[in-house]
Amino acid sequence: MVFAMSVELDPRAADDVLSEEYEQYKALSVLAVTSGALGLLSSLAFLNWGLALIPVLGVLTGLVALRRIRLRPTELTGSRVAWAGILLSILFLCGGWAYLAYAYVTELPAGYERLSYASLQPDTEVKGEIYPPDVADWNGKRVFIKGYVYPGKQQSGIKQFVLCRDNGDCCFGGQPKLTDRILVTLKGPLALEYSTRLRHVGGTFRFEPANAVDGLGGVIYHLDADYLK
């Protein structure tokens, strides 16, 4: 004897099953994944003002991803990843800027004026100008400036070194231009251990054209330093 059994399937349940199976075939948005990755990389914004571009890109990429997912809901997924990228980017952008602003304000030692390499550059539109005409106004002032140590033969106990504007020039075989280097002489017990990190230096600034040091050519900016970090 053969028994036949019929099972009636609820149409709504069948639709749910098909819908769940279809969900599995949605493509994860590449832009959403990119936004998530940029959100994680946005932590680099704590290191440098220029790296704030990373979280900005993370936010923009995430917004574009969300828009595309809304326009193509049956084809794309990844809105949660996109939102995560956006929120992380905003968090690190705000936190990074706040941290860098605080560091900028508090890094200046008492009794020094902030001096930047930008103030030491000639006007490129003035033909034949080697250094800015008002640079002599800094002569004799106690200044604070940041830069990178140009590598030499001595690695420790350094009392005199050239401070460069860019670590690309000083650390990777480049030749820093005349107005991008300062000859620093450390006073008293101060001495330097060579490294490629950014240095904070303070002391009395001297503008002396036509001096030379090592094989770098002329050095016109000098600093008798009594502060080193």
Q: Give the β-pairing of 76-77 and 142-149.
A: unpaired
CA-based Rg of the chain, rounded to a whole angstrom? 30
Confidence (pLDDT) at 170: 52
> Which 8-state DSSP code applies to residue 110?
T
Q: In this predicted structure, what is the pLDDT of residue 218?
A: 74
pLDDT on residue 128: 81
pLDDT of residue 59: 96
- How far, in Å, CA of 108 to CA of 200, rounded? 9
Contacts of 229 (CB under 8 A, 6+ apart): 199, 200, 201
> For residue range 124-181, what is the model confidence (pLDDT) as tens digits?
888 888 888 889 899 999 999 999 998 888 888 999 999 998 876 555 556 788 889 9
Please state whether the predicted TM-score (pTM) of the whole model is above 0.85: no
pLDDT at 216: 55
Closest Cα partner for 148 from 186, 102, 197?
Answer: 197
Q: Within 10 Å of residue 180's Cβ, how many Cβ atoms?
A: 20
DSSP character at residue 11? H
Amino acid at 38: L
Q: Residue 128: CB partners within 8 Å, gap ≥ 6? A: none
Contact 82, 31 (CB under 8 A): yes
What is the mean pLDDT of the segment spanning 192-196? 91
Question: Is residue 180 within 8 Å of 192, Cβ to Cβ?
Answer: no
85 has pLDDT over 70:
yes
Contact 225, 219 (CB under 8 A): no
Contact at 8 Å (CB) between 182 and 152? Answer: no
Out of 43-57, 88-102, 119-133, least confident range: 119-133
